[in-house]
Amino acid sequence: MPNIDAVIFTGHMIDLADRAEPRFPPVLEQAAAAAIRRHLIDIAREMPDEKIGYASAARGGDILFHEQARALGFRTVIVLPFAPVLFEKTSVSGLAGGGWVARFHALWDQSPPRDRIDMDLPKSSEAYAACNTRMIELARARGIYHLVALWDGKGGDGPGGTVDLVEKAEADGDNPHIIRPADLR
């Protein structure tokens, strides 16, 4: 892996109980956190002194990324397509377990203002795609970036999901590191 200046993360949300085809069931949370951590340790060796990562903050992969990266000394930037209150309703809440809402607020509240980006877009599927583009722009401004994705390798639920960011990073010449939930079992 060449020297990299920034990391971007994308990943599936923890499945809601009524998800027809499971992608990231809650039982895999700890294994996913460990896999993210292992790869971040590897990436850190290829980064300058200030290690920085960009991700949104949905329940599941995004929150796990921020938690693991910060525990390893990374500065992480949360990029939301719209206001935190609306984002919480669309992408964080919905599960009785896991404490995702509290974890989301802890990450947001502990981030300095420069590391909390609210794009203030109207609620839409396209807003998520714009959020992905914004993360790439931020990382690209620092130099070479590397994408880490918690992804089942299948198509997404709509524009702006995990597959969208993987495709954008590949088009930029990155070889994303894919963590497949099925491999975590």
Sheet-wide strand order for 145-150 = 116-118, 75-80, 52-55, 6-11, 145-150, 177-179
How many angstroms separate the Cα of 112 from the Cα of each of 12, 106, 149, 159? 26, 12, 25, 29
185 pLDDT more than 90: no
- Tracing tokens 């130099």 back to the chain, one arrives at 143
Residue-wise pLDDT for 16-50, tens only, equals 988 888 899 999 999 999 999 999 999 999 888 89
Domains and their CATH numbers in the chain? 6-184 (3.40.50.450)
Predicted local distance difference test score (pLDDT) of residue 3: 85
Round to whole Å and give the CA distance between 167 and 176: 9
Predicted local distance difference test score (pLDDT) of residue 157: 62
Residue 92's Cβ-count burial label (10 Å; 0-12, 13-18, 19+) is buried
User: Would you tell me how many other CB atoms lie within 10 Å of the CB of residue 79?
Assistant: 23
Predicted local distance difference test score (pLDDT) of residue 35: 98
Tokens coding 185: 């079992």
Round to whole Å and give the CA distance between 10 and 165: 7
Predicted local distance difference test score (pLDDT) of residue 160: 79
Amino acid (one-letter) located at 78: I
